[in-house]
Amino acid sequence: MDSRPRETDAAPADPSDGGVVPRAVKGGAEISRPRNDKRGYRRVVLPNDLVCLIVSDPDTDKAAASMNVSVGYFCDPEGLEGLAHFLEHMLFYASEKYPIEDSYSKYITEHGGSTNAFTTCEHTNFYFDVNNDSLDDALDRFAQFFIKPLLSADATLREIKAVDSENQKNLLSDPWRMSQLQNHISLESHPYHKFGTGNWDTLEVKPKEKGLDTRLELIKFYDSHYSANLMQLVVYGKESLDNLQTLVENKFCGVRNTGRGRFSFPGHPCSSEHLQVLVKAVPIKQGHTLRILWPTTPNIRHYKEGPCKYVSHLIGHEGEGSLFYVLKKLGWAMSLEAGEGDWSYEFSFFGVTIKLTDVGHEHMEDVVGLLFRYITLLQTSGTPKWIFDELQAICETGFHYRDKSPPIHYVVNLSSNMQIYPPEDWLVASSVPSKFSPDVIQSVLNELTPDNVRIFWESKKFEGQTNLTEPWYGTSYSVEAVPPSIIQKWVEKAPMEDLHMPKPNMFIPSDLSLKNAEEKVTFPCMLRKTLFSRAWYKPDTMFFTPKAYIKMDFHCPLSHSSPESTVLTDVFTRLLMDYLNDYAYDAQVAGLYYGVRPNDTGFQITMVGYNDKMRTLLETVIGKIAVFEVKADRFSVIKETMTKEYENFKFRQPYQQAFYYCSLILEEQTWAWDEELAAVSHIEASDLEKFLPHLLGKTFIESYFAGNMYPGEVEGVMQHVEDILFNSPINLCKTLPSSQHLTKRIVKLERGLRYYYPALCLNHQDENSCLLHYIQIHQDDLKKNVLLQLLALVAKQPAFHQLRSVEQLGYITLLRQKNDSGVRGLQFIIQSNVKDPASLDARVEAFLTMFEGTLYQMPDTEFKSNVNALIDMKLEKYKNIREESAFFWGEISEGTLKFDRKEAEVAALRDLNKEELIEFFDNHVKVNAPQKRILSIQVYGGLHSSEYEKILRDEPQPNSNQITDIFSFKRSRPLYGSFKGGVGQMKL
């Protein structure tokens, strides 16, 4: 046998070609690819049977790699639940070649990259990105995961705690709980039944009871399961295909091939006893959810025909005549989703998930009856080809004009595809159905019958009515039979509504031509300014796709003047989206996305996607604002939705509650969630009717247009908006004087003081506590910005290693920068069930003391390496119009207008020396630094309630102040100035 790597190439695409672009390559394989994709691709099979895809992108700023291993938690040995997931954790620690613990993660972080991994039922995926010039060394470290990892005894015990902490984080999460319940109600003999995460009990206690050594079992699992022939590698870099191939061959030829056969798990996880069942379950959060599931033929077996895509498009449709349209009209549903859920090549579940209103919950049988009636309509209507053609056109356009994504996401997607699809479809996967087969579509529809249905119905109203408990998460549930005869009765008694197929989609783009800018424009310019609005414009000079981006901020001073006005503004935006849904749903299907959301100064319209029909959609949204009326029935559904969201606030993770308290303390005009909940509970439709004329009565519109559009189009759109809202006979909006413009301002903490705010976790069942340790440093300043960014880069990995890997304080452990309207600082976040927040605070201080030595003794070469890594990160080009627009819009909305910020910061970085970084650390971050400003948010979970009582009683330490009343504290502190100074008056 020829021992040389076998290879196939895909040459760069010619953008002038039409259709999916296959390239004839060595060895006869063809890779279908987008017509505007200029990257080079090569399939290489190493002598050890490791299959590789090499991607050469001369324009990339980042290199990346992903190794997919065709081994997941389905392979866990009996009684060692979570072993595959635990192994994923352990491979990060150290290897024989690189024995220093965490040296891989440290190298990646110091060279501008990030790294992670995940485990699913049938595969485990490891991935990273890094600055281009560091790919060689990064790959060398990465490859050792699969050649000779250490799997040390010391790390084993510590990382079992990390897995347990990860599981603790999920215990009160409804998505995790309900997913495991579906697994639980299945054949015990099928691996689908397993618990995949693992915890202290499954990885430490139970094995010991059986006389097993977890580390030895881990090594045995690795040796017998991790084989080169079960791996798929993607490497993405700037170099040529030949150079990248040489790199891959040199690094990965040492991965052992044991000739392990591909793991297969035949048979369906559900027998007849798990079908025709109604499972009632008690969730953690308020709300009612109906999940209707059927075992079906996996879509992967017919992915070119795309039967599930076709069926889910129809059942999940939201336009007139659809199931959701009818349920919404009846006031029974808040949302509906349909599609293939859990699947492998051997089995699949097709699911419909409906969020019910309180009234819908009372009509569950009617809801299921209407669903089956709609399915019967689809089963008996044939499978119209025009629907397939429409879907194919949408999917093909989406494939060819797919936004370029960050390499780290791209490689994960490709390596996962390599396990499933033949090489020619590694890029396209199942995204574009290409063969119309009515029989295949009909066969999937015919599987959606009452005979093999599983209905999961979740509601807090079932508390006290269940008799069973799921063992891993403790979910209470009951099971009862629902034979087809019962469902038939539900179908017969359901209301006779007009269900029908969707109409043709008018939003499918027909004009995909490019409107290239005549000159290379680097930054946005202000195109138009009037008393009513201001428009910024940035043509596309980088991406060359038929897409555009619009952001439109409505500045309304009344929007946040009280908890009631905040809530009413929110209700207004939700109702607006609700009214538009029947019309605009087709736009989203066709790749034109929009949203209307409240923001800090009023509300905001965002649109992104194909520019062809964007103006039509925007003018429809503006027209709906102009003639807005409050419909009492929809108002009550939105009010109910919001009430549940506010009531569910207390079930947020402790770290999310800590973020909330931090914002509440630091931001000038924010209201407490319980005040907003009280406001929601007493507002009525008439309140919104009275409020809206006042909300919109004084308005200024700040807008940003970018992408494939001409300046004249932008000016025309803004003139139309002004004509409708400001110049019409109704005159809905009036000009907003500059004196009334809102700005978001931030509380300035006292130098040399530590403020702390202790709070009990709002969910008393949650055992986890959280510390958010915030060090406020400065307001937007070029030199200090880069010093802070560099310090965060240098400290990030040591903080994670010490606090998470060594001390095992908690799974969620991170150090990051915080930027609030230009006020910048550092945040440590630790969520833990092993230490209370005050103790975590002490561990952060201990880390900073330890880090002092690391910083002071840092070799000049390492300092320079970190500076260069940060420069490379700043010089990264935007991947797509969303990324570019997010940056420029941030400068506009904050009033800083530093469009050349990245270039200026790079210049500042080039002049930086190590002494300046040390001085910055000594002044602002070091323990007891003279200028240090600290805010410590301490959320106490159920395990630490006694420590909470103690901290309330104890006298504060010297230079420490306890915040007892957030709003009194805010009123007593000065505020940082805003950069805006009035939107209409901003200097340029």
Cα 313 versus chain centre, distance: 23
Taking each helix axis from N to C terminus, what angle separates 837-856 and 782-800, rounded to the nearest 10 degrees?
110
- Give exposure, 688-721, as e/b (b: 16+ Cβ within 10 Å): beebbeebbebbbbbbbbbbbbeeebbeebbeeb
- Whether the CB-CB separation of 651 and 285 falls below 8 Å is answered with yes
Element (H, E) at 831: strand 823-832
Compute the C-alpha angle 363/367/373, nearest 5°: 140
Cα 472 to chain centroid distance, Å, stands at: 26
Give the pairing type, strands 592-599 and 602-610. antiparallel
Q: Measured between alpha carbons, how far is 400 from 525 in angstroms, rounded to an integer?
A: 30
Q: What is the C-alpha to C-alpha distance for residues 673 and 572, in angstroms, rounded to an integer?
A: 18
Task: Determine the Cα–Cα distance for residues 312 and 333; give it in Å rounded to an integer.
Answer: 18
Q: Please, is 219 exposed, middle or buried when counting C-beta atoms within 10 Å of its C-beta (0-12, 13-18, 19+)?
A: middle
> Measured between alpha carbons, how far is 793 from 786 in angstroms, rounded to an integer?
10
Q: Are 748 and 668 in contact (CB under 8 A)?
A: no
CA of 323: how far to CAs of 326, 507, 779, in Å?
5, 21, 52
16's enclosing H/E stretch is: none
Q: Is the dihedral of CA 415, 419, 423, 424 positive or negative?
A: negative
Residue 92 identity (one-letter amino acid): F
Say how many C-beta atoms besides its own lie within 10 A of residue 121's C-beta.
19
Which residue, 967, 274, 249, is CA-closest to 665?
A: 967
Active site residues: 88, 159
Type of residue numbered 55: V
Phi/psi-derived region of residue 789, left when phi > 0, alpha when psi is between -120 and 50, beta in every other case: alpha
CA pair distance 356, 334, nearest whole angstrom: 6
The side-by-side arrangement of strands in the sheet containing 933-940 is 812-820, 823-832, 769-779, 933-940, 753-760, 960-962
Within 10 Å of residue 361's Cβ, how many Cβ atoms?
A: 17
CA-based angle 395:397:401, to the nearest 5? 120
Burial 435-461 (b: 16+ CB within 10 A, else e): ebbeebbbebbebbebebbbbbbbbee
Residues belonging to the chain: 988
User: How far is CA 491 from each of CA 266, 450, 500, rounded to the nearest angstrom?
Assistant: 34, 11, 16
Sign of CA dihedral 612, 616, 622, 625: negative
- Who contacts 770 (Cβ-Cβ below 8 Å, separation ≥6)? 653, 654, 655, 657, 658, 761, 812, 829, 830, 831, 832, 837, 937, 938, 939, 941
808: left (phi over 0), alpha (psi -120 to 50) or beta: left
One DSSP character per residue, 434-485 reads ----HHHHHHHHHH-SGGG-EEEEEEGGGTTS--EE-TTT--EEEEEE--HH
Angle at 154 between CA 153 and CA 157, to 5 degrees: 85
Cα–Cα distance, 233 to 67 (Å, whole number): 4
What's phi and psi for 331, nearest 5 deg? 80, 25
